Amino acid sequence: MAKTNFQYEKRQKELEKKKKKEEKLKRKLEKGSSSETEVEEAAGEGAEPAAGEPVTGEPAADEPKQP
């Protein structure tokens, strides 16, 4: 009997969750019930900040740290 590829199954579940989340976000945008800033915040949860943006609470790399 063949072994189950759990990594493949996990990846498929992750892709399905991502697809559902994107569809839900798209429906929210189409409905127009939420503003653009709320949608951006919802999409940004758990996401890492862009390369040019400093992480909240930390000074930018070119700014000196103050004691």
> Is the pLDDT assigned to residue 28 strictly greater than 70?
yes
What does pTM read for this prediction? 0.42
Residue 45: half-sphere exposure toward Cβ, Cα within 13 Å: 8
Percent of the chain with pLDDT over 70: 48
Q: Where are the alpha helices (DSSP H) in the chain?
A: 6-31, 36-44
Burial of 25 (0-12, 13-18, 19+ CB in 10 A): middle
> Is the pLDDT assigned to residue 25 strictly greater than 80?
yes
Q: Higher confidence at residue 65 or residue 6?
A: 6
Q: What is the pLDDT of residue 10?
A: 97
Reported confidence tier of residue 32, pLDDT bands at 50, 70, 90: confident
> Is the pLDDT assigned to residue 29 strictly greater than 80?
yes
Residues 6+ apart with CB under 8 A from 55: 49
